[in-house]
Chain A
Amino acid sequence: MSRTLKELKPGDKAVVKSITGEGAVKRRLLDMGVTKGAEVFVRKVAPLGDPIEVNIRGYELTFRKSEAENIIIE
């Protein structure tokens, strides 16, 4: 079973393996630097439980849990 970024908790770290899905969401994640080998640090979850905030490539990025589900981690 491959793990996705959605399963991580704030404070967890992981390395990106690949992105599933296609179209605009995937492309956007790739463009924002969520690519193979990138280190992700889950910083926090928004007050209402979604979206989440991660640190990647030295900056802060936010996306929804539904998008985090597309990010496979090692």
Chain B
Amino acid sequence: MTYTFALVGNPNSGKTTMFNEITGSTQYVGNWPGVTVEKKEGKARKFKEDIEIVDLPGIYSLSPYTMEEIIARDYILDEKPDVVINIVDATNIERNLYLTTQLIELGIPVIVALNMMDVIKSREDRIDVEKLSAFLGVPVLEASASKGIGIQELVEKALEAAQSRASANSCERCKMLDDAIEQSLDKAEPFVALPARQKGYNSRWVALKLLEGDEKLQEKLKVPVTLMEDIKSFRKELEQKYDNDMETLIADNRYRFISDVVAKTVKKNNKGNILTLSDKIDKVVTNRILAIPIFLILMFAIFQVSFGALGSFTVDWLDSFINETVGGVIKAWLEAGGAAEWLRALIIDGILAGMGSMLVFVPQIMIVFFFLSLLEDSGYMARAAFIMDRILRKLGLSGKSFIPMLIGFGCSVPAVMAARTLENEKDRRLTIILTPFMSCGARLPVYALFAAAFFEQNQGVVIFSIYMLGIVIAVLSGILLKKFVLKGEVAPFVMELPPYRFPTIKGIYIHMLDRSKDFVKKAGTVIFAAAVVIWFLQSFSFSLQMVEDAGESILGFIGKAIVPAFAPLGLDDWRASVALLTGLVAKEVVVATLGILSGVGAAGEDSAELAAALQTYFTPLKAYAYMAFTLLYMPCIAAFGAIKREMNSWKWTFFTISYQTGTAWFVAFLIYQGGRLLGLE
């Protein structure tokens, strides 16, 4: 017999910690069908019964306004888990119980886990659990997920409820709504009994939701229009009686009921307004004067560690390990076995290098997500949004987008992945589209080469201007895309600032591991396939002969064929366009390709020979247009894989790279043609 328990709770209620405690290492992270909201599943350890635990998205309410709320509600209604375990943060009980009241109404078995009881006890506050259970009409258990207390009992109780099939107490003793609303429900219930029964929903809940004007449910149940007329008349009656709309009335009622219950069951030790530790930290961290410097110092430190010494050390080490150590072993082995040259090239330069181009990102992803989990779990992330909101709102984004954008200056791959901390889907998509405009580290060698070759006196200024160009384009794109593509109602910025908490090492470890595994499994396949295809295209000619010179390869042929498209940008030499194509592997490859195609070999960015060669087919204006194009056009295939993974849609992925490449073309066009008009050529 398999049982399914769903975990439901507010964000920051300790739900993820509880999930980790119950399931241990058995968890599996995926996506809910069709959306990019994470779905976590796992098995309860230490039980002989087969217990499947599903972690539903963290939500404040079951009102179907956000994607997360719709997913959670539909799952509970349609997948019918055996028991819903509602994680309630005991230190923030009033607002947490709001979701509880809605869960109870669904008429399914609910168990309340009163989490963070260790904090309540250390504060010497008291919660009368038995009384609370009596008021709510469902079992209430004390727990502390972060201390691992009460977990076993919770699962046992849920198992008991599932086995006895104790349907949820319809909560006759607790009267959440006032008489007038209850009477309307009595009248409305018979009308909806049939459609509700067909779906197996609680008819009183259906009546309440339709009375509230829930269009999502109305569509789902295909409620006849005539029937809705009757329901609407009941609603009008109530709204006139109270001179208020139905949504407000019901929310008011719920919170009144909760305030009443809390007053009777919770005894706070400190009556006065004593500052908690969290308040004290906030006095400094979100201080008017200190907040922004602290934020910037934190960001700088994270950036330095991720992309400075530690980050580049791990990347270089892994790169040489894969390509030299492992590559050397395989090469020797292939040579000893007498493998043909094309086979050796396929295995070493194609497959192994392809794997390498994906795996080198893993250490950086781990470092970045170590910091991200730290920020998220400690509660600082919400403060970052609070501090930076004003600036990013102009882009149609919220303060949380700042962090992915910043990471983008290091590497677009973890930056795109970091966009997952944004709850709103539109904000997340927009952040993913804009993040690659932040010039990543791999693009710098290209600027350094051109700046040295063409702007010797002003190298610093020129490179800085390219970085600024990326930011300006991101700002303009944000405004434009918000207006025409990702339009619609602005997501409300109504956000909880959770109390600061010590992150658990286990939580951070699981998060880091999850994201890395996810990257390798989901983005990795795309990156690997793309790397092998590009390797093939640049190593073989149409007659399938291996070529040394990329100019004679299939990719070289394509590069030459697209030269007319680049001519308006002043880039009328095929070497320039071929290098952009090979730059898709990684943008710094542009430098090496230009070296090979210019006949100076795989020279570095500081090669005077290569600079001299470039001067034969670039002018300073053309060079600047080329740098701008390199900055803006679609990111490398690794970032492409990450975008595909995070967008979870091919349509959006292609929109993103088309938008970026289109922008690159247009901006380079303006630079070149504008420069010519100004007589800069």
What chain A residues lie within 8 Å of B493 (beta carbons)? 51, 62-64, 67
Contacts A37-B256, A58-B92; A53 near B248 (Cβ below 8 A): no
Contact call B63/A27, Cβ cutoff below 8 A: yes
Complex alpha-carbon distance, A35 and B255, angstroms: 7
A23–chain B nearest beta-carbon distance, Å: 6
Contact call B255/A63, Cβ cutoff below 8 A: no
A20–chain B nearest beta-carbon distance, Å: 10
Looking at B321-329, B455-463, B494-502, the stretch in contact with chain A turns out to be B494-502
Contacts A30-B251, A31-B61; A46 near B286 (Cβ below 8 A): yes
Complex alpha-carbon distance, A55 and B252, angstroms: 18
Contact call B494/A63, Cβ cutoff below 8 A: yes
Q: Does B288 have its Cβ within 8 Å of any Cβ on chain A?
A: yes
Contact call A30/B248, Cβ cutoff below 8 A: yes
Complex alpha-carbon distance, A51 and B256, angstroms: 28
What chain B residues lie within 8 Å of A35 (beta carbons)? 248, 251-252, 255-256
A15–chain B nearest beta-carbon distance, Å: 13
Q: Does B247 have its Cβ within 8 Å of any Cβ on chain A?
A: yes
Q: Does A24 have its Cβ within 8 Å of any Cβ on chain B?
A: yes
Contact call A46/B65, Cβ cutoff below 8 A: no
A36–chain B nearest beta-carbon distance, Å: 5
Contact call B489/A31, Cβ cutoff below 8 A: no
Which has the most chain B C-beta neighbours within 10 Å: A24, A25, A27, A29?
A27
Contact call B288/A58, Cβ cutoff below 8 A: no
Contact call A62/B497, Cβ cutoff below 8 A: yes
Contact call B95/A28, Cβ cutoff below 8 A: no
Looking at B384-392, B425-433, B558-566, the stretch in contact with chain A turns out to be B384-392
Q: Which residue of B93, B94, B287, B390 contacts A50 across the interface (Cβ within 8 Å)?
A: B390
Contact call A51/B386, Cβ cutoff below 8 A: yes
Chain B positions 46-99 with a Cβ under 8 Å from a chain A Cβ: 60-61, 63, 65, 92-95, 98
Complex alpha-carbon distance, A64 and B55, angstroms: 31
Interface string of B379-406 (1 = CB under 8 A from A): 0001000110111010000000000000
Contacts A33-B95, A33-B255, A35-B252; A28 near B494 (Cβ below 8 A): yes
Contact call B494/A18, Cβ cutoff below 8 A: no
Complex alpha-carbon distance, A61 and B63, angstroms: 19
Q: Does B289 have its Cβ within 8 Å of any Cβ on chain A?
A: yes
Interface string of B588-609 (1 = CB under 8 A from A): 0000000000000000000000
What chain A residues lie within 8 Å of B98 (beta carbons)? 31, 33
B259–chain A nearest beta-carbon distance, Å: 8
Q: Does A74 have its Cβ within 8 Å of any Cβ on chain B?
A: no
Contact call B494/A60, Cβ cutoff below 8 A: no
Complex alpha-carbon distance, A37 and B94, angstroms: 14
Q: Chain B interface residue count: which class? A: 35 or more
Instruction: Tell me the count of chain A residues lying within 8 A, CB to CB, of chain B.
Output: 36
Contact call B94/A58, Cβ cutoff below 8 A: yes
Contacts A30-B251, A63-B493; A53 near B386 (Cβ below 8 A): yes
Q: Which residue of A37, A50, A53, A57 contacts B95 across the interface (Cβ within 8 Å)?
A: A57
Contact call A32/B496, Cβ cutoff below 8 A: yes
Closest to A48 in B: B390
Complex alpha-carbon distance, A44 and B386, angstroms: 11
Contacts A31-B98, A33-B94, A33-B98; A61 near B248 (Cβ below 8 A): no
Q: Does A5 have its Cβ within 8 Å of any Cβ on chain B?
A: no
Which has the most chain B C-beta neighbours within 10 Å: A25, A48, A61?
A48
A22–chain B nearest beta-carbon distance, Å: 8
Q: Which residue of B94, B251, B389 contacts A46 across the interface (Cβ within 8 Å)?
A: B389
Interface string of A58-74 (1 = CB under 8 A from B): 11111110010000000
Q: Does A19 have its Cβ within 8 Å of any Cβ on chain B?
A: yes
Complex alpha-carbon distance, A12 and B98, angstroms: 26
Contact call A36/B389, Cβ cutoff below 8 A: no
Q: Which residue of A23, A32, A36, A49 contacts B60 across the interface (Cβ within 8 Å)?
A: A32
Contact call A30/B494, Cβ cutoff below 8 A: no
Q: Does B291 have its Cβ within 8 Å of any Cβ on chain A?
A: yes
Contact call B491/A47, Cβ cutoff below 8 A: no
Complex alpha-carbon distance, A56 and B93, angstroms: 12
Contact call A59/B495, Cβ cutoff below 8 A: no
Contact call A27/B255, Cβ cutoff below 8 A: no
Complex alpha-carbon distance, A64 and B256, angstroms: 26
Contacts A46-B390, A64-B389; A32 near B255 (Cβ below 8 A): no
Complex alpha-carbon distance, A62 and B342, angstroms: 62
Contact call B288/A47, Cβ cutoff below 8 A: yes
Complex alpha-carbon distance, A24 and B60, angstroms: 13
Contacts A33-B94, A46-B386, A50-B389; A18 near B495 (Cβ below 8 A): no
What chain B residues lie within 8 Å of A22 (beta carbons)? 245
Contact call A31/B252, Cβ cutoff below 8 A: no
What chain B residues lie within 8 Å of A30 (beta carbons)? 247-248, 251
Contacts A46-B390, A48-B390; A38 near B497 (Cβ below 8 A): no
Contact call A51/B492, Cβ cutoff below 8 A: no
Contacts A24-B492, A32-B494, A63-B493; A47 near B289 (Cβ below 8 A): yes
Q: Does B163 have its Cβ within 8 Å of any Cβ on chain A?
A: no
What chain A residues lie within 8 Å of B248 (beta carbons)? 18-19, 26, 30, 35-36
B489–chain A nearest beta-carbon distance, Å: 6
Closest to B295 in A: A47
Contact call A44/B286, Cβ cutoff below 8 A: yes
Complex alpha-carbon distance, A50 and B399, angstroms: 11
Contact call A25/B496, Cβ cutoff below 8 A: no
Complex alpha-carbon distance, A47 and B287, angstroms: 7
What chain A residues lie within 8 Å of B382 (beta carbons)? 62
What chain B residues lie within 8 Å of A47 (beta carbons)? 286-289, 291-292, 387
B390–chain A nearest beta-carbon distance, Å: 4
Closest to B288 in A: A47
Interface string of B280-301 (1 = CB under 8 A from A): 0010001111011000000000
Contact call B489/A23, Cβ cutoff below 8 A: yes
Closest to A34 in B: B494
Contact call B494/A46, Cβ cutoff below 8 A: no
Q: Does B244 have its Cβ within 8 Å of any Cβ on chain A?
A: yes
Complex alpha-carbon distance, A49 and B387, angstroms: 9
Contact call A24/B256, Cβ cutoff below 8 A: no
What chain A residues lie within 8 Å of B494 (beta carbons)? 25, 28-29, 32, 61-63, 67
Contact call A63/B495, Cβ cutoff below 8 A: yes
Complex alpha-carbon distance, A50 and B244, angstroms: 30
A-B pairs with lowest CB-CB distance, top 10:
A48-B390, A31-B61, A30-B251, A60-B497, A25-B492, A57-B94, A47-B291, A63-B494, A35-B255, A28-B492
Known A-B contacts: A29-B492, A48-B390, A51-B493. Give 7 more (CB < 8 A). Answer: A25-B494, A35-B248, A35-B256, A47-B287, A59-B498, A63-B492, A67-B493
Report 5 cross-chain contacts, Cβ distance below 8 Å, ordered by A residue: A19-B248, A33-B94, A50-B389, A60-B499, A63-B492
